[in-house]
Structure 1
């Protein structure tokens, strides 16, 4: 039977690719510290659960294709705290940030058009672009420089008559980079000069650990008609399973066109929207406590990595990830080995090989992404296991 070129060329998830090796290790009785996937262990705010439990309608009906009005209102109120002022016809509720990204790419590009993305990047960007028939043009950033952007000339030389947008996450997944105000303004100027959209994936907005501040594309007035904000409740509220995201843009024509995609899938889940509405009403204290917790976890991991000879990484400033360059040749082989051949007192760790976060062939081969989503004690033990494993690994550089 014939299968489409679209599905054949669709990349597998690098975060889940090695799951069978982890399953086999667990069957052998090994304890695995999972640092491979961004699933927070922070408790989801109770008001989400209570809102769902208190739902007492007799019929679980369709909601609006645009999204439930009360959820849209809650999101608009949330953004006002950051001096971003959206109207009701500038917001669409989506099935997670994933659908928001897919709908956006389908709306702004035709087959064989191009988008520019700093790499390493969230690998599903590649998958969504593939589904939309759009080609990813990477801008390579380096661990040695904290994955900050290269010079303007390097970025502009990637732009062609098929370029439609610049896409980036800020704070960054998988790097933990927080782009400076100067970097944000540089991209804004490039987008304006070359008539491009900026797709701003800011789902980790709250998770910033430096004192140098955070600049959102949503606060740059003179490009507001070309900024498309991607949002999600998954990481901000530790509600990954709720699958509620959003697209926000001051470009009303764009939102009106993307609404047609929303209509084609009818609506997002009603109960999850009811719960998500209450998430946007949590207190600022919730965020303070969560950010302090992740900052402590970041410090544990970064300190542990700094104590291992041969590792190269800069301190991550946001999100809850870091990419580390290891003193090995092949990170994927190392991660498999950790699961199949290595243990320390019957414990091991699972990391994500970083090559799946690059579009440039043969990049990131000696790098791994670490998600610091475990408690401090577990992270300290995981860093100890990593140090011992690298000392033991037979294929070091």
Structure 2
């Protein structure tokens, strides 16, 4: 009897511990929604990259690898339950989009831009000779306007100065404003294609190299859409950068937006993107935003990867918007990045970050000329709401003030 008593006591202690853990496990489980998959298991796009397949009974993605198998769990992260012992991130109310334009314009006015102020000073000179025009040209080139747009603007200004004759600072500013607005091109459609279709959400892919603030931009753009009363879902398809998925999920939690992500670094980005769109269709959201990896070390690999993500997503829904995020402070290097990505996917718009940290406002014109697509959004600061739709006249006015 004495030998049995310790065993009974051990069993009772285990029962007590398990009973205490069950409520915590249940609450934690509520934060993860798994999605069974309906893809054709024979689809080569789905099964490529290590033999990706789906176990419909568990709703998890099984990645077959040489010599073994692992499991990628795709889940939808919601705001954690404080009672579960997890960190609670308060849901914030993003600032209205209209108010951001004024605030961002003020920041651009305060930034160190040499383009507008330098041109105003040169063109207000008492005598404009060839040396002044050389300085005008140099100022534009230093502002990363690009050779062709620079020649176009200089020619237009020469003609107008010749006709104008007497020039007051007011006349010069008005003339320069008109010509810069033409160059930035107000006719470009800068609206975001984020209107829900009859039975499917709008799908947006966000691309760009690592280090330009791409994941942060996705989070900030989610706030813009939430401020416009859009129901948003995020897909963390940048599975190669450490903590990228967690970073995106945190942005989503701040505005109450779910994030579909994999629990394993290096998971197949196309599978995660597919699951995100599938979840968006099931939950009838307005917009699904997919963050992608941005490694440029191997151009061919990048093309294959991004191309595959787009193709796999389009098995479920059309990709309505592909935004390229560029760091304005990189100047001409940003142009080279833009060209690489334009070869990979059909870029529909540019997001220009850190525009307040550069004197090179001409990069807006140069990028638009190089790609034939508009700058749709600009970032002017580190704040969560420091991202706003690009407005041609506001941008030019900020340069000249």
Shared topology, TM-score over 0.5?
A: no
TM-score by length of 2: 0.32
Q: Quick one: higher RCO (CA 8 Å, sep 6+), 1 or 2? A: 1
